[in-house]
Every structure is written in C-alpha cells, then in structure tokens.
Amino acid sequence: MKIKLLPLVISCVLFTSVSQAQTPSIHLNKAPAASEAVWKDDSKKMDAFIDELMAKMTLKEKIGQLDLQAGKGQLTGSYRNKGYAKQIKAGHLGAIFNTVGAKQTRMLQEIAVEETRLGIPLLFGYDTIHGLKTIFPLSLGEAASWDLEAIEKSARISAEESAASGLHWTFAPMVDISRDPRWGRVSEGAGEDVYLGAQVALARVKGFQGDDLSKPDTIMATAKHFAVYGAAEGGRDYNSTDVSERTLRSVYLPPFKALVDAGVSTFMTAFNDLNGVPATGNDYLLNTILRDEWGFEGFVVTDYTAVEEMVDHGFAKDSKHAAELGLNAGADMDMVGQNYFKHLEASVKEGKVSVATIEKSVRRILEMKYRLGLFEDPYKYSDIKREKKVVLSKENLLAAQDVARKSMVLLKNDNKALPLSTDIKSIALIGPLADSKADMIGSWAGLGDRKTMPVTVLEGLENKLGDKVKINYAKGASYNYKGNTNKGFGAAMVAAKKSDVIVAVMGESEKMTGEASSRTTLTLPGNQIALLRELKKLKKPIVLVLMNGRPLNLNWADENVDAILETWFSGTMAGNAIADVLVGDYNPSGKLPMSFPRNVGQIPVYHSMKNTGRPFSDDLKGGAWNYSSRYENLPNTPLYAFGHGLSYSSFDYSDIKLSSNTMKMGGSIEASVTVTNTGDYDGEEVVQLYIQDLVGSVTRPVKELKGFQKLMFKKGESKQVSFTISEEELAFYRRDMSYGAETGDFKVFIGTASDKNKVAKFSLVDK
C-alpha cells in the first residue's frame, strides 16, 4: 500500500516522540466565513489604538482586564464575588456575565466608561445556549434536525435577542463530541459524530457571529469546552479523560478546528484533565495546538472557577500557583475565581509570570472589544427599544416552533399509529410531562420563562384540536427516582378507558440533563414504565412522546408501544410543535445524532466503531462457544442507530451509481442514488453518505459519516442525489500521524440511516 501526503499537511509539531501533522480542515457543506470577514479588521489602526491604550494602563488595570465576574442574576456555579461593582469603579474589571438586560448592562457600562480613569468598556457574556428568552430545542435536539439552515437561524435569533439585551458574547456552542449518554451534558452538544458535530458547530457560530461582529445584533461565540470534556470517564461529569493523540486529533479536535477556520471569537477551557494535565493549565492544547498550529487569534476564557480547581486536581499547590499555571498555559481570562486578579502582581514580582505574557492576554481581550466596536460606542448593545421589539417577538416564537418540529425524531411507527387519524374522537393524554411547563424548555435555557409561556402538549393539542376531539388528561406517574406511589395510575386508567388512543408524554425531568446531571441508568425514571405496562393491558394504541436530553434505553417501549416520537426538550413552543407532528401537519424529518443503546452496558456504542480481529457474529453452529467480540446477552448494535429516524412517508433508495470504480489520488468520483418518495405524504429525507476504508496503515472504523443532504420530496417524487468523494473524505491520521489518504479499496454507503444503506466499492489508486 502506497502512502501519499495531502498538500494540507504543511508542518509538524513534536509531541512525545511522534511527529504530528496539523489537524485538518473539515470538509464543509458550506464554505465557512473567514475570520477576516467576521472581524473586518483594520489591524494597523487597531494595533495603534491598543498600543496607545496599553501604554497608559497600570499593571493592576491590565490584570483587571483578565478578570470575568458573575454579576447579579443567575448563578451558574456555586460562587459569586459580591464586590464586583467596586472593582468596576476602580477600572479593575474586564468582563461580567449573568447580568442581562439593556438597562442593567447600560448601568454598569456607564460606570466603566464614565467613572474610570481610562474608560475601557466592559464585555457582557452569558450562556445563550438554545435561546435567550425565546427558547429553541436543546442543542442535541436541534442537531437531530440535520438542518443547518434551521440551526443557524436559531442561533441568529438567539444572538439578536441577546445583543438587544446588552450582551456581547455567548458561551456557546458546546462542540464536545460525546459517545456516552450517561454524561448529562450530551444535551448541550451535537452528539457522537465528528462530521455532523463540526457542521452543526459551524452553523451555530455563523448564526451567533453573523458576517460582521461589529454589527449591533451579532455577538461573539465561544468554542467550548477545550478539550475532550465529552470523554469524561464513566460519563460522570468533570471526570478525568485519557485519550491517545490519534483519538484526540481524529475525534475530539476537528469541530474546534473548524470553528477556528470560521473565525470563532473565543474558546473556553474544559474542567477535566486530559492525559494528566488539566485543560485549563494545558499549554499543549492552548498554546501549541490552538495558537501555534491553528493560528487562533481570539482569546481563551477558563470555565467557571476552573483555575483554582487545578488545586483540587492536584496540579497546583495553591490558587496563586494555579493562576500562574493557567496564564502561562495560555488561558487569558479567569472566570469567577479571581485568581489572576489576586495573585498575578505578586507572581510578576517573583518572576513566575512575565509582564509580556500578561500583556499578550490583555491585548487579545482588548482586540475583541475593539472588533465588537465597543470603543466607538460602548452602549450600542444596550438598547431598551430594540430589546422590547426583538425579544420574544411573534416571528421568533414561530421560528422556535418550526425548529422544534424539525428536531423531532420518529423512532418507531407501527400500524400507522401516527399521524393520529382524523376519525379519533378522544385522546387519553397521560404522563408527568404532558402538562409540565417547568420542564418544557430543558436545561441551560437562558432566561426562558418556566411558569407561563411554555406551551405544554396538553395546551398544544387543545390549540390544535379545539372541541373536535375530547382530551382526557391525567398525569398518572412521576419521573422522580424515589418516593413514587402508583396512586395516579387509577385516574390514568380511567382516562385511557374512555379514549380512542393513548398519548403518553414521558421522559426525564429537565434537571436530569445538563451540567452535573450524569445518570447511571438510562431507563425512563420513576414509575413511568410501570404505568405504561398497566395502560398496555387495555389493548389500545399507545403513542409515546418522549422528552429527554440524552439517548435513553427504550427496549420495553420499543417492544410494546405502537409509536415513539422523540421530542427532546423542544422549547417555549414545544406543545404546538408536538401537536403539529402528532396530527400530521408536519411530517417528521429528524435523525438521531447519537445512537440509542439497548442498555448502559453497551456504552460506548456508536456507528464509527472498529471491526476488531473477531468481528461480531451470532453464529453458534456446532455448539461451539462463540469467540467473537460480542455480549452474551445482547447484540452489539444499538436499539436505534445513529442517523435513524422515520417519516410518515417512505423513501426508496436505488443502488449506488459510481462515476468510476477507481479514483486517482488528487481526483474525485461521484456517488449517486435515486431516492423516491413512495409514501402518501410529502416529506423531507436526510440522505446520508458513509465511507469505509477497508485496509489502512492503522485500523479504520467500519463506517464514517462523510456527507448528508436534507431534501424535500413531494409524494411520488424521485430525485437523483449525488455526493462528490475526494481525497479529503478518505483522509485520516496514518500510522506516522501524517494526515492523508492511502491507496486501496473503499466501501461507500448511501442511505436513510447508518444501519440502512446501499453499498458500492471503489479503489483509490496512484496517479
């Protein structure tokens, strides 16, 4: 087998004893916005301005720019410094988060600009993750739409609401790849796949940052958490990670690199340690890879109190040592803990940190303030009139409803249980999530209202069906882990007995997902399954509507209910969107961004696994023991595979046509299929392209996603769908860690899911 370098391998850095290639640019559906376009720098003017400003700054003022404090408002960690107003007045604070609102931010900005010696404006940050007040589906849910335009729009609207409320900066997107659904924060990302993860991340950053960061309705985005946070051992939040250089570069880094190429403004460090070094003190990640190798020009903020947590990690002896480690490693801004603010002056005196290092970080932060246009007009984001007009506007709410519908995944639909027949006269609407406003918008839902605004499924169905259908509602069960009685079962059975169909709305509470919400089981919590078992005895059609922020174990439901609709936590307009799907006003088009395991014991289970030397077999012929790589009690496959998702329609795929069975190095081939909508509904389908490299200088995954297209097909319509395959789709980190393709044979798969596709073969040959 011959090995050829791709031209993008331009330099090597040293890590342990292996030589490294640069992390590749991920192949994109759409060209990324270059940072120049987003920042529109006149760098000479900017440099001169910052030189002049920094010449006037005292060391204390400089160190103040590196400090980020949690203001009044929400608390997203367990500590807040109450004296931050004094610090602003002294000209010793660079940035604030968790203070939101045109009025509140203006008030603090006035102090910084008008009452301090140098008048340097503050930066206001916030976790606008899936909406500020108009709440969109959880990030994992949005990723399930595989609809990059919809995802970008959701981020755009979130940016508009945030910017009008005085914010300059969101701590999103989270681009941590994760293959462990026990980890509560899978809800904040885009799932298990590198390619999909990078595409979704790019769409989000484009939405937040727009095409010009100095516009008053665009905000800085943050690529977080750098890096490998999603690989927390055992899925337990904050836990250690240990991954090889190959896995780091092949799986965890590409979405981050894609965002650097797209001009993302800031990075956030991760809480975890990686191969023994906490990410916040990790010079290799922050300086060697991010800055030297990738050329990142924005600034790096630490995660919440992550600097002093290096003491608990056993990496720093005290918070002063931690501050030195963090700053020297390249973490520019210290979130909440004030370690830089308290200690760096002394560290400079002792020669532990140089003024030049501090100044480098200060400059990076001032540059972003300059690029946002804050030195020209520090108040342009804090606009009370705009805030009133933009936040929770009718258009925003309708957009949220649309994105919510697009994010839902129809996991199962037997006996045409969905859409609900128009003959139905009554629905038993049952379950702890059927009418729970507090849960609808999920975790990390910004300033989203949880009391009155969210539309529940009960309200959504009533809005949709009016008097035409009787809805018999009963909560019936609880999702709480403990303290459940089955008292509510009786009312649920009564409701079900007098109804034509049972719609059970079940899942997790919103608090079971997100940060510090890892779980050791993935079954429906509480006594929900017990209630479903009772309902099943009535032999009526059962539709299970799920709300949850992670893949669940749905074995019982899969065997026993007629239809399952995964709705995640789908935001302020959830109930209306769910009603649209249940009655067929919207034909579901979402696909899973993460495999749903059969049980926790299978974790990690993901589509791009390796074959092993003893690939799975269920062959027990001859009574011999089966020595293949398998579990004795379950198949290796997940219950629902990555990319799975049904429609009310059906799609037929022709065999794959390749423009050639051989591809030359440096060339490309086309792979096409004809997809036909053979069902009774117009509908969208996500056509997915996967590739397998059959023999490599290192073992290769059985399948990797390399492209997708989400397309609308009218009833009966056929379309030819083509993908271009070039060396870029075939490249990987080879045995010597250089990046590129190797000649040999490949399989190409095109289909409706990672486990349902057509296959063809081609060879990559030398010129």
182 vs 224, which CB is nearer to ligand BGC?
A: 224
Rounded to the nearest whole angstrom, what is the least distance from the CB of residue 421 to ligand BGC in the complex? 44
Rounded to the nearest whole angstrom, what is the least distance from the CB of residue 140 to ligand BGC in the complex? 15
Nearest to 700 by CA among 724, 670, 667, 731: 731
Residue 335, beta-bridge partner list? 68
139 vs 738, which CB is nearer to ligand BGC?
A: 139
Rounded to the nearest whole angstrom, what is the least distance from the CB of residue 224 to ligand BGC in the complex? 6
| DSSP code, position 217 | T
178 vs 456, which CB is nearer to ligand BGC?
A: 178
* By CB under 6 A, residue 511 contacts ligand BGC: no
Closest residue to ligand BGC, based on beta-carbon distance: 76
CB-based contact 170:127 (threshold 8 Å): yes
Q: Pick from 61, 127, 534, 685 the residue near ligand BGC by CB under 6 A.
A: 127
Q: Pick from 224, 257, 320, 591 the residue near ligand BGC by CB under 6 A.
A: 224
Q: Pick from 212, 245, 515, 682 the residue near ligand BGC by CB under 6 A.
A: 515
* Look-up of token digits 């800055």: 291
Q: Which residues, including other chains, have CB under 8 Å from residue 268's CB and lie 6 or more apart? A: 171, 222, 223, 224, 225, 226, 300, 301, 302, 303
Six-digit token string for 66: 């590196």
**φ and ψ of 228, to 5 deg:** 70, 20
Number of residues engaging ligand BGC in binding (CB under 6 A): 8
Q: Is 303 a catalytic residue?
A: yes
* By CB under 6 A, residue 168 contacts ligand BGC: no
279 vs 502, which CB is nearer to ligand BGC?
A: 279
* By CB under 6 A, residue 558 contacts ligand BGC: no
Task: Return d(Cα 534, Cα 541) in angstroms, integer.
Answer: 13
Six-digit token string for 634: 């379950």
* By CB under 6 A, residue 73 contacts ligand BGC: no
Q: Which residues, including other chains, have CB under 8 Å from residue 25's CB and lie 6 or more apart? A: 8, 257, 258, 261
Q: Pick from 303, 566, 684, 742 the residue near ligand BGC by CB under 6 A.
A: 303
Task: Return d(Cα 561, Cα 566) in angstroms, integer.
Answer: 13
* Look-up of token digits 């880094």: 253
* By CB under 6 A, residue 169 contacts ligand BGC: no
CB-based contact 471:434 (threshold 8 Å): no
Out of 303, 334, 402, 435, the active site residue is 303
Convert residues 669-708 into a mask of x (bound to ligand BGC by CB under 6 A) and - (unbound). ----------------------------------------
Burial 276-312 (b: 16+ CB within 10 A, else e): ebbbbbbebbbbbbbbebbebbbbbbbbbbbbbbbbe
76 vs 636, which CB is nearer to ligand BGC?
A: 76
CB-based contact 655:760 (threshold 8 Å): yes
* By CB under 6 A, residue 77 contacts ligand BGC: yes
Rounded to the nearest whole angstrom, what is the least distance from the CB of residue 545 to ligand BGC in the complex? 29
82 vs 767, which CB is nearer to ligand BGC?
A: 82
Whether residue 419 is preceded by a cis peptide bond, meaning omega within 30 degrees of 0, is yes
370 vs 569, which CB is nearer to ligand BGC?
A: 569
Rounded to the nearest whole angstrom, what is the least distance from the CB of residue 223 to ligand BGC in the complex? 11
Q: Pick from 304, 340, 586, 690 the residue near ligand BGC by CB under 6 A.
A: 304
* By CB under 6 A, residue 76 contacts ligand BGC: yes
**Strands (DSSP E) along 342-431, which ranges?**
409-413, 426-430
Q: Pick from 171, 183, 586, 642 the residue near ligand BGC by CB under 6 A.
A: 171
Q: Let me know if 767 is exposed, middle or buried by CB neighbors in 10 A (0-12, 13-18, 19+).
A: exposed
Residues that bind ligand BGC (CB under 6 A): 76-77, 127, 171, 224, 303-304, 515
Active site residues: 303
